[in-house]
Structure 1
Amino acid sequence: MPIKSRVRTIEHYPRPGIMFRDITTLLKDPVGFQLLIREFVGRYRYMQIDKVVGIESRGFILGAPVAYEIGAGFVPIRKPGKLPAQTVGQDYELEYGTDRVEIHTDAILPGDRVLLIDDLVATGGTALASVALLQTLQAQVVECAFAIDLPDLGGMARLQALGLETFTITAFEGH
């Protein structure tokens, strides 16, 4: 069974008209989870990557085993107030308001080659804010990787429009 078939779709969550793509069904399936991590590791094993950066929270689940397998460090990007040392943050727009992501100021060295990873890219707001943080710390973003792309929402296209390399394992049309 392919990876896509292991993702559950929940209609009208978190509000009417939304088709929520839930990867918890993929993560709980030992074979599905292994397939997913192997896909990422197969792509990045021979690239020079110093740090894998995972976006809270599912990016942690995917990023840590990928970092381990490719011999890179792992760095979390978190919601505000979750990191104990000095941080730098980036605000970004949501449909109704703003949010913020933060990273430790000493997590990335200038010139570090970084892989940014998360479970899903929709509008790209969180990923774009994360890239801005990494660029503030003078990282070289090698690629932005996602298990799932929702192309109708344009996030991947927004990342590519900035000249960023992107990779996704599967996509779901319609949101």
Structure 2
Amino acid sequence: MNQGEDPRWPYLSPSFVAWDWVPEPRAGLRRLLLPATAAHARPLARTNAVLDVLEGLDAAMRAMEDDALLLITEAYRRGASWAQIAGRLGRSKQTVHQRYQNRVGAAQTEKLLLADLAHAHGKARRIYEHGGSPDDRARATAFLRRHPRPRQSRRPGAGGSQ
């Protein structure tokens, strides 16, 4: 039987109207990734919608991996042990240590952190200069006071232009 004929596949596919009726946090992620017209599209367009969602999911997974790396780095720098970090991730200490130990202090991790800081600085500057909600302006002002301009890496090759 072709998967397109399998009665389970419409439910498992973004082309099904209730595709996001799964437990959280997967439902929220599916709602973010789902093109609004996917459930009402023609079969070929549905295939493209599935591929679009797959592409978006890959980008989201890479972004979550970057965030996990930055959070693990922050926890480790603040004194959390590998066992504590692994416990919060629901993984073994050995697995987490092997995956992240060389990345926590790596130049690439610092470069990622500095790129995020530069992006946040630009956004805060735009909100400060061009307006926004009172809460956003207060956050932007506080951020710019704490970070007057993005810092460059203290490590050669870790930040800035090369």
- Identify the TM-score tier after normalising by the shorter chain: under 0.3
| TM-score when normalising by structure 1 | 0.24
| TM-score when normalising by structure 2 | 0.25
Q: Which structure has the larger Rg?
A: 2
Q: Which has the higher strand share?
A: 1
Higher relative contact order (CA 8 A, sep 6+): 1
